[in-house]
Amino acid sequence: MANKLNIGLFGFGCVGQGLYHVLNNSSGFTSNITKIAVKDKSKPRTLGSDIFTFNKYDILDNPEINVIVELIDDADEAFEIVKYAIQKGKHVVTANKKLVATHLQELYELQKKHNVSLLYEASTCGSIPIIRTLEEYFDNEQLNKVSGIFNGTTNYILTKTITDKISYQIALKQAQEKGFAESDPTSDVEGFDSKYKAIIIALHAFGVFAKPNDVLNIGITTLHDNDIKYASEKGYKIKLVPTIKHTDNKVSMYVLPKFIKQENPLFFVENEFNGVIVEGEFSGEQFLKGRGAGGHPTGAAVLSDISALSYEYKYAFKKLNQTLKNTIDNNIFIKAYIRYNTLINLEVLGADQIFEQYTGEDYHYAVALVNINQLLLQRDYILKNNLFIAELGEGVSATVKKSIANEALEISQAE
Ligand SMILES: NC(=O)c1ccc[n+]([C@@H]2O[C@H](COP(=O)([O-])OP(=O)(O)OC[C@H]3O[C@@H](n4cnc5c(N)ncnc54)[C@H](OP(=O)(O)O)[C@@H]3O)[C@@H](O)[C@H]2O)c1
């Protein structure tokens, strides 16, 4: 790999401009942005017109450019750009989680075949160096779980609605005004964004390739005042928490709102901040917190990847290449709070053990064991019926489900 980096940049929006600023204000590292590709010819630019191009091949076919930094907001076009660049033997840095998660296995094979480096630290939890931490520090230790708050927009909305008691709509508008939320916030609030990040983390933490359609994501769109009241009466905060868990070479993963107690470090992760908890077999629990979005924090993560290229850094994917392979298995049960406004059959959610149930006039809830695979199958039903589902406690495997349920029943009878 050439140590002199000639960069072709795609995108000069929030992150592209953030990177440009961070790059020009960083000491000890120089690199050269040769050309910047953008889309809208009528947009005023903060740099001279010479540096911009509207033709991607001006960058992709330029033999002087050996590094592509991809920071556009269109995942399909980004995939075409990244694929073409890798096939041309160029190293790539990207911040696009949807692109990476959707094509993870193909991109892994491509970078291997063409012997180039593909780095994507900024795609996952903004400024938190989670990919490099998993790759470099936890490369050999077996991990039991990685979970956290991976999305700044939803965390901002939940902080404002729960702690500051402002409405969901106003909180969302504020997040958009502050540049955390996109004009179409669906990917954030329905948990897709968190799911893409969980898929990327699952590869580096557990060596598995998960497909987005096979991973459950339930977001915060159905959150109701009654859910907030239930949670706060019991001392919980509500956070959107992706969980990737490992037991006996099986990896389960899902994105769900979760009721969090004060003992959990995520309780204190507020506003646009992200937090990641890594649980190692021997090292125990580690907690990383940082800004999950914004031009400068994300630009700083992109700069770190560019800088890593200068010393020929590549991901080693050690967890993928370990002898004992992990497989994905979402046939697990979790304890969950389920709120429904019209009476439903809870068996649809695989809820065969109910610990607590309340039936009011237009507000009902149950606390039950539910099956992750079943929730995935019933995602449309859950959204159509406006159910709010939040995890309580930790996931349990199907085999130990019965004994835990019986234990819980004994406790509730004793009470
Ligand atoms: N914003 C964040 O806090 C954040 C955090 C982590 C990761 N990311 C990821 O970083 C990437 C960029 O996000 P952003 O917030 O910077 O987006 P943005 O502000 O909307 O900017 C997007 C940029 O991409 C350019 N673009 C779009 N389509 C293009 C094409 N076909 N060819 C060339 N340029 C094209 C746009 O050009 P014009 O200027 O001509 O419109 C614009 O400069 C996304 O993948 C996002 O998921 C963002």
Backbone angles phi, psi at 70, to 5 degrees: -105, 110
- Residue 298 C-alpha from the chain's centroid: 14
- Residue with the smallest CA separation from ligand 1 atom 11 is 71
Calculate mean pLDDT across residues 391-411. Answer: 59
Q: Is residue 179 within 8 Å of 14, Cβ to Cβ?
A: yes
Nearest Cα to Cα of residue 363 among 238, 229, 245: 229
For the CA of 41, the nearest atom of ligand 1: 40
Domains, the chain, in order of start with CATH, read 6-128+299-310 (3.40.50.720), 136-220+239-251+260-288 (3.30.360.10), 332-414 (3.30.70.240)
> Is the minimum distance from the CB of 14 to ligand 1 under 6 angstroms?
yes
Ligand 1 in contact with 77 (CB < 6 A)?
yes
Name the DSSP letter for residue 115. Answer: T
Q: What is the CA radius of gyration of the chain?
A: 22
pLDDT for the residue 362: 82
DSSP 43: S
What b/e readout covers 191-201, taking b as 16+ CB neighbours within 10 angstroms? bbbbbbbbbbb
Residue 139 three-state SS: coil
Separation CA 213–CA 376 (nearest Å): 9
Measured from the Cα of 17, ligand 1's closest atom is 16
> Model confidence over 234-288: pLDDT tens digits?
999 999 999 999 999 999 999 999 999 999 999 999 999 999 999 999 999 999 9
pLDDT confidence of 95, banded at 50, 70, 90?
very high
pLDDT, tens only, 26-62:
887 777 899 999 999 999 999 999 999 999 999 999 9
What is the pLDDT of the chain when averaged over all its residues? 92
CA 137 – CA 276 distance, rounded (Å): 15
Pick 103 or 412 by higher pLDDT: 103
Question: For 65-101, b where at least 16 C-beta lie within 10 A, e where not — what string?
Answer: bbbbbbbbeebeebbebbbbbbebebbbbbbbbbbbb
Coil vs helix vs strand at 365: strand
237 C-alpha vs ligand 1 centroid, how far in Å? Answer: 32
Ligand 1 pocket, mutate which of 51, 55, 57, 72 (most atoms under 8 A from CB):
72
Is residue 207 in contact with ligand 1, taking CB distance under 6 Å?
no
pLDDT of residue 415: 39
User: Which residue from 332, 330, 340, 353 is spatially nearest to 389, judged by alpha carbons?
Assistant: 340
Sequence-ordered list of residues with C-beta below 8 angstroms from that of 333, at least 6 positions apart, any chain = 350, 369, 370, 371, 372, 395, 396, 397, 398, 401
> DSSP alpha helices (H): ranges in 207-272?
225-233
Query: What's the 140 CA to ligand 1 centre distance in angstroms?
Result: 35
32 sits in which H/E element? strand 32-37
Per-residue pLDDT reduced to its tens digit, 332-377 = 999 999 999 888 888 888 887 899 999 988 899 999 999 999 999 9
Residues 6+ positions from 366 with CB-CB distance below 8 Å? 337, 338, 346, 351, 354, 356, 357, 358
Beta strands in 133-249 (DSSP E): 143-149, 216-217, 237-247
- pTM, full prediction: 0.94
* Whether the CB of 395 sits within 6 Å of ligand 1: no
Q: What is the structure's pLDDT at 324?
A: 87
Write the CA distances from 243 to 251, 368, 394, integer angstroms. Answer: 10, 19, 10
Q: Determine the Cα–Cα distance for residues 318 and 141; give it in Å rounded to an integer.
A: 10
For residues 100, 103, 104, 110, the Cα torsion angle rounded to the nearest 10 degrees is -110
Going from the C-alpha of 109 to that of each of 104, 112, 115, 140, the distances in angstroms are 9, 5, 10, 22
Candidate from 9, 39, 182 with most ligand 1 atoms within 8 A of CB, to mutate: 39
Question: Which pLDDT score is estimated for 399?
Answer: 55
Ligand 1 lined by 37 (C-beta under 6 Å): yes
Residue with tokens 């359609």: 213
CA separation for the pair 240, 390 (Å, rounded): 9
Q: Which atom of ligand 1 is nearest to the CA of 73?
A: 44
Among the listed residues 24, 84, 96, 29, the one whose alpha carbon sits nearest the alpha carbon of residue 59: 84
pLDDT in tens, 159-176: 999 988 899 899 999 988
Atom of ligand 1 nearest to the CA of 152: 3
Assign 336 to helix, strand or coil. Answer: strand
Q: Is residue 409 over pLDDT 90? A: no
Tell me which of 21, 71, 150 to substitute to probe ligand 1's pocket, judged by most ligand atoms within 8 Å of the beta carbon.
71
The yes-or-no verdict on residue 212 having pLDDT over 70 is yes
Q: Among all residues, which ones are annotated catalytic?
A: 197
Determine the distance separating the centroid of ligand 1 and the alpha carbon of 298, expressed in angstroms. Answer: 12
Secondary element (H or E) of residue 353: strand 353-359
The answer, yes or no, to whether any atom of ligand 1 lies below 6 A from the CB of 388, is no
pLDDT > 70 fraction of the chain, expressed in percent and rounded: 94
Three-state SS for 398?
helix
Two tokens, residue 109: 């094979």
Is 161 exposed, middle or buried (CB count within 10 Å of its CB: 0-12, 13-18, 19+)?
buried
412 confidence band (pLDDT: 50, 70, 90): very low
CA distance 261 to 254: 20
Q: What is the pLDDT of residue 177?
A: 86
User: How many CA within 13 A on the CB side of residue 41?
Assistant: 2
Type of residue found at 280: G
Q: Is the pLDDT confidence value at 410 over 60?
A: no
Q: Which two tokens mark 268?
A: 């204190």
| Average pLDDT value for residue range 17-24 | 94
Distance 81 CA to ligand 1 centre (A): 13
Q: Residue 136 contacts by C-beta under 8 Å, 6 or more apart in sequence?
A: none
Alpha helices in 208-294 (DSSP H): 225-233
The tens digit of pLDDT for each residue in 220-232 reads 999 999 999 999 9
Q: Which atom of ligand 1 is nearest to the CA of 126?
A: 6
pLDDT over threshold 60, residue 114: yes
Question: Cα(39) to centroid of ligand 1, in Å?
Answer: 10
